[in-house]
Amino acid sequence: MTEQRAEARGEAEGDGLPPRPASDASDDERARAFAARRAARFGAPTLEHFRRAYAGFGAEWPGDDVIRQRHLVGDAAADPAS
């Protein structure tokens, strides 16, 4: 039954997405696995997305390198909306 639900959501094993975290994974490992799976499925935000977000809430831009260290960053050339 669980496999049927996962398949219905497009989350079956072998779905081409990065692996799910192990059951004993830390919170950080789970968060990284979740972010990697979301980015693989829907695309990661680009630096331009992060710039707009920082500007939108009035925060100082920390720099491209810092954003790349903190977050998964997608390729702007692969993003038709940018």
SS3 8: helix
pLDDT of residue 75: 85
How many domains does one find in the chain?
2
Q: How far is CA 28 from CA 1, 35, 46, in A?
A: 29, 11, 22
Query: What domain range is 9 assigned to?
Result: 1-42
Does residue 38 share a domain with residue 73?
Answer: no
pLDDT tens profile 13-30 = 567 888 999 999 999 999
Does residue 53 share a domain with residue 37?
Answer: no
Averaged over 54-82, what is the pLDDT?
86
pLDDT of residue 54: 97
pLDDT of residue 6: 54
Contacts of 54 (CB under 8 A, 6+ apart): 60, 61, 62
pLDDT tens profile 22-60 = 999 999 999 989 989 999 999 999 999 999 999 999 999
